Amino acid sequence: MSETPASPDSALRSRPAKLVDRVFEELRQRIEQGNYPPDTRLPGEHELAANLGVSRPIVRDALSRLREQGIVYSRQGAGTFVRASVSPQTHLAYSPVKTIADIQRCYEFRLTLEPDAAYFAAQRRDDTAIRRIAEALGELRDATSHKLHRSDADFLFHRAVAEAANNHYYTASMDALKPHIAVGMHLHGLSLMGPSQQLQRVFAEHERIYDAIARGDAADAKATMRLHLEGSRDRLFEGKVLDLSIGRD
């Protein structure tokens, strides 16, 4: 592992890498949604490149990441195929968010999950993992500079941290929680709008998480992630969380 992880600014200059991330996510979503069913052959690199509007090397790198994560596999001379295990029917899933209490439950669950993922991310991160977190941080920086909150970039940051832990249970859980987290992130984003400097404060929280992981400080990464999630929850609920021991709604 490198002792000098890439800085956010140098990582953000890697535009082709960002394209790879987007193509990877697009292909992964198409597979999850059943556009490419299990055990079927993916279109060739040339066709995918034309379809996605990118170069073949970008597609090749994205396919390599899909293979690394066990989403697809290659057959010598036959092409790239979707693994049966990634069928949508086999994915982890949670009941949809129906109430305010469910949003609080989601935060509660994330607090049992993401601080530890950040801890292991700091221990196991490599240059590629640091670059992906930095790129998501850059998206948040751009949004903050325009006085916007982007839930998609926010989620991408948290997922990149989970991915850096190199434990597929964390990433699978984050993927399953994505629509639930999105509800909380959207409402939290709305709560940040106004004359105060809340957006900058939240960006600084993400930056401290990145810093701790890049430095390899596992304890600090865990603590800063916990503080960020607790802060997000408290900002959203204005410090007045619900008593979940009352009722079952």
CB 92 within 8 A of CB 173: yes
Region 224-246 average pLDDT: 88
> What percentage of the chain exceeds 90 in pLDDT?
41
The pLDDT value recorded for residue 194 is: 67
Residue 238 has pLDDT above 90, yes or no: no
Region 86-107 average pLDDT: 73
Give just the sign of the alpha carbon dihedral 186, 190, 193, 196.
negative
Domains and CATH numbers, the chain: 14-89 (1.10.10.10), 92-237 (1.20.120.530)
CB 172 within 8 A of CB 92: yes
CA–CA separation, 154 and 186 (whole Å): 10
If one compares 126 and 194, the residue with the highest pLDDT of the two is 126
CA–CA separation, 80 and 41 (whole Å): 6
The pLDDT value recorded for residue 212 is: 98
- Name 81's bridge partners: 41, 73
Residue 11 has pLDDT above 80, yes or no: no
Residue 243 has pLDDT above 50, yes or no: yes
The pLDDT value recorded for residue 17 is: 58
The pLDDT value recorded for residue 111 is: 97
Give just the sign of the alpha carbon dihedral 92, 175, 171, 231.
negative
Residue 91 has pLDDT above 80, yes or no: no
Residue 87 has pLDDT above 80, yes or no: no
Cα Rg, the chain, nearest whole Å: 19
The pLDDT value recorded for residue 3 is: 46
CA–CA separation, 40 and 30 (whole Å): 13
The mean-pLDDT minimum among 2-16, 64-78, 102-116 falls in: 2-16
> Can you give the length of the chain in residues?
249
Dump pLDDT digits (tens) for 97-152: 888 899 999 999 999 999 999 999 999 999 989 999 999 999 999 988 888 888 88
The pLDDT value recorded for residue 36 is: 83
The mean-pLDDT minimum among 38-42, 126-130, 153-157, 215-219 falls in: 38-42
CA–CA separation, 96 and 180 (whole Å): 7
The mean of the pLDDT values for the chain is 84
If one compares 5 and 146, the residue with the highest pLDDT of the two is 146
Residue 232 has pLDDT above 80, yes or no: yes
CA–CA separation, 20 and 55 (whole Å): 10
Name the pLDDT band for 209 (thresholds 50, 70, 90). very high
